[in-house]
Amino acid sequence: MTQKQLPPGLHPDTLAVRSGADRSQYGENSEALYLTSGYVQPDAASSARRFAGEEEGYTYGRYGNPTVTSFEERLAGMEGAEAAISSASGMSAILMMCMGLLQSGDHVVCSQSMFGSTIKLIGSDLAKFGVQSTFVSQTDVDAWKAAVRPNTKLLFAETPTNPLTEVCDIAALADIAHGAGALLAVDNCFATPALQRPMLLGADIVMHSGTKFLDGQGRVMAGALCASQQLVTEKFLPILKSGGMTLAPFNAWVVLKGMETLGIRMRAQSTSALALAQWLQEQPQVERVYYPGLESHPQHRLAMAQQGGQGGAVLSVAMKADSPEQARARAFHVLDSMQVLSLCTNLGDTKTLAAHPASTSHGRLTEVQRQAAGVTQGLIRLSVGLEHLDDIKTDLLRGLSSLH
Ligand SMILES: *Cc1c(COP(=O)(O)O)cnc(C)c1O
């Protein structure tokens, strides 16, 4: 392997195409895809040292792979983190983080409006193993502070949240975590390092679902944690090795190449999302639009400061209705009238995706948890893609203009 050291101070857009490129002896310009589950060792003594972690070198596919390393280096570079460790999906990255940092009797503080599976994993699944959790309002800094206990080890926030795009103050939460001897983790799926870099605001861990904007074209599942080298080596890598939530090299390669266009995609999709949000706000059938780029968003100023002046590509829209049943029927009508956009619970694609969170991503929550997260029956989430804005509007208008 021949790696030229990149000069310091490069911008994220440059790192997106240049970092993590470890060329083989063939000098390929596009990063290589190494499909192998094992590695031939030069001699028994080196093999022993590698397995003991005393010498660099790949040993077995579950522990590491050069293509996977390229993805990790690129993501760490873009996030401004010392290191990154990848996993098979965003959820398995959260599982790796929790298993690495927590034990029975420890306590986690989370936002109550986090991704549905995150609430399920931390609030229910990990509770079986004695991990305690408190879910607080995303936006109420005092509530986070009040929820901290002597056994609190982790604060975990997602900003903006899915699907209501609530924003939290990363720097303020970092202060609370550090004052309590705990760590702050931030799920950066929605903003991505193209807009928001939580490590620079004091976060200790940045979690990603590579499935979303990093791939950006809806092809593969992937996940990652960015953190200090020490956290990665001492806390997360041992869990990866024994837990086996390893990222497949092919998926790593797809996301690695997807990240090269992350900056231009995020800027273009944010621009369209803002225009669409402004337009939706004016439609008579619409109760409310949730989008951090709108001045009507309660944390607009904080979002703009934290997210490089961009609102991101995801917005949610609530239908006007007299009852939850009518709201649900109206949302379904708009979704079923689309001829171009995809009815799809994923997000972060070049294709605009529309979903009904209450019956999909948040469908496994109890009604109480769902209400706490503000996910009402009339809510539609849109992940704005790269189609022409006029075609997106026309497609939504098919249903909006024929509601009864
Ligand atoms: C999708 C998503 C996840 C989970 O990622 P997977 O790759 O689907 O496991 C976590 N957090 C947020 C905000 C997400 O959108």
Residues 6+ apart with CB under 8 A from 96: 85, 87, 225, 236, 239, 240, 243, 245
Question: 89 in ligand 1 pocket by Cβ < 6 Å?
Answer: yes
Domain count, the chain: 2
Same domain, residue pair 171 and 251: yes
- Render pLDDT for 217-252 as a digit per residue (tens, 0 to 9): 999 999 999 999 999 999 999 999 999 999 999 999
Token pair in block for residue 72? 């990790």
Same domain, residue pair 50 and 189: yes
3-class SS at 109? strand
Tell whether 5 is covered by a domain. Answer: no
Tell whether 297 is covered by a domain. Answer: yes
Mean pLDDT, all residues of the chain: 95
Question: 213 in ligand 1 pocket by Cβ < 6 Å?
Answer: no
Tell whether 2 is covered by a domain. Answer: no
In three state form, how does the secondary structure of 123-168 look? HHHHHHHCCEEEEECCCCHHHHHHHCCCCEEEEEEECCCCCCCCCC
Same domain, residue pair 99 and 23: yes
Q: Place 181 in a pLDDT band, splitting at 50, 70 and 90.
A: very high
Same domain, residue pair 228 and 310: no
In whole angstroms, what is the distance from residue 238 CA to residue 220 CA? 25
Dist. CA 23 → ligand 1 center (Å): 31
Same domain, residue pair 241 and 118: yes
Where among 201, 230, 259 does a domain terminate? Answer: 259
Tell whether 4 is covered by a domain. Answer: no
Neighbours of 348 (CB within 10 A): 27
Cis amide linkage into residue 12, ω under 30° from 0: no
Q: For position 127, which CATH number holds? A: 3.40.640.10
In whole angstroms, what is the distance from residue 95 CA to residue 121 CA? 8
- Render pLDDT for 97-122 as a digit per residue (tens, 0 to 9): 999 999 999 999 999 888 888 999 99
The helix (H) or strand (E) run that includes residue 250 is helix 249-258
Question: 381 in ligand 1 pocket by Cβ < 6 Å?
Answer: no
Structural domain containing residue 363: 262-400
Same domain, residue pair 50 and 141: yes
Looking from the CA of residue 162, the nearest atom of ligand 1 is 13
Using CA atoms, how far residue 181 sits from 101, 234, 235, in Å, is 13, 18, 16
Question: 209 in ligand 1 pocket by Cβ < 6 Å?
Answer: yes
Q: For position 386, which CATH number holds? A: 3.90.1150.10
User: With 50 as the cut, is the pLDDT of residue 1 above it?
Assistant: no
Which one, of 258, 195, 216, 190, lies nearest residue 17 by Cα?
A: 258
Where among 259, 287, 303 does a domain terminate? Answer: 259
Same domain, residue pair 162 and 146: yes
Name which of 40-54, 245-259, 260-274, 354-368 the model is least confident about.
Answer: 354-368
Looking from the CA of residue 221, the nearest atom of ligand 1 is 7
Q: Mutate which of 71, 89, 115, 208 to test ligand 1's pocket (most atoms within 8 Å of Cβ)?
A: 115
Same domain, residue pair 32 and 165: yes
pLDDT at 4: 63
Question: 166 in ligand 1 pocket by Cβ < 6 Å?
Answer: no
In whole angstroms, what is the distance from residue 311 CA to residue 315 CA? 9
Where among 225, 259, 293 does a domain terminate? Answer: 259
Sign of the CA dihedral with 220 first, then 225, 229, and 233 last: negative
Same domain, residue pair 321 and 227: no
pTM summary value: 0.95
pLDDT at 2: 45
Same domain, residue pair 45 and 78: yes
Tell whether 88 is covered by a domain. Answer: yes
Question: 349 in ligand 1 pocket by Cβ < 6 Å?
Answer: no
Which one, of 159, 105, 152, lies nearest residue 137 by Cα?
A: 159
Tell whether 299 is covered by a domain. Answer: yes
Q: Mutate which of 192, 211, 251, 381 to test ligand 1's pocket (most atoms within 8 Å of Cβ)?
A: 211
